Amino acid sequence: MGNKNRIVLGILTASILHHCRNMFNGDELVVSKKKALRIEQKHPEQAHYILQHSFQMLLDATIATYNYKEDGIINFITHDGQNYLLYGVSTNNYRNELSTIFKPSIRQLRKCQSDIRYFKSSYKEDLLEYIKN
């Protein structure tokens, strides 16, 4: 647990920091308790990563990034073993905060396919195979 109504989710991995240089305010990722409750209501399937303190597993399994139209939010795609999940990190504040986490539809992944920057080429092949099915 963090302090001041913040929950520490984990430490950004070296591959994330390498591919997104000079974008983050440190390497710790937090979420406010209010945002955690909002995510629990909107996306209860993914809320257990926050509530059970297992978000570091998603950070370790991050495969790609893509920039959304909003400034200050960087979206990441991760694979938890069975599903692809999308989570956003806001860098507008003095800390790195989780903005959202959800399971995108195949249609959403197809739509942003041209903007995705993969960390490894093998990740690209796996995601394209998932999109085809």
Mode of pairing for the β-strands spanning 6-11 and 28-32: antiparallel
Q: Confirm if 99 and 34 have CB atoms less than 8 A apart.
A: no
Q: Is 36 exposed, middle or buried (0-12, 13-18, 19+ CB in 10 A)?
A: middle
Domain boundaries, the chain: 6-132
Mode of pairing for the β-strands spanning 96-102 and 28-32: parallel
Distance CA 99, CA 119 (A): 21
CB neighbours of residue 48 within 10 Å: 12
Q: Confirm if 77 and 85 have CB atoms less than 8 A apart.
A: yes
Determine the 3-state secondary structure of 81 from DSSP: coil
pLDDT tens by residue, 68-122 = 666 778 899 999 888 899 999 988 768 889 988 999 999 988 888 888 899 988 8
pLDDT tens by residue, 7-42 = 899 999 988 888 888 888 888 999 999 999 999 999
The model carries a pTM of: 0.87
Which residues lie below 8 Å from residue 120, measured CB to CB, with a gap of 6+?
63
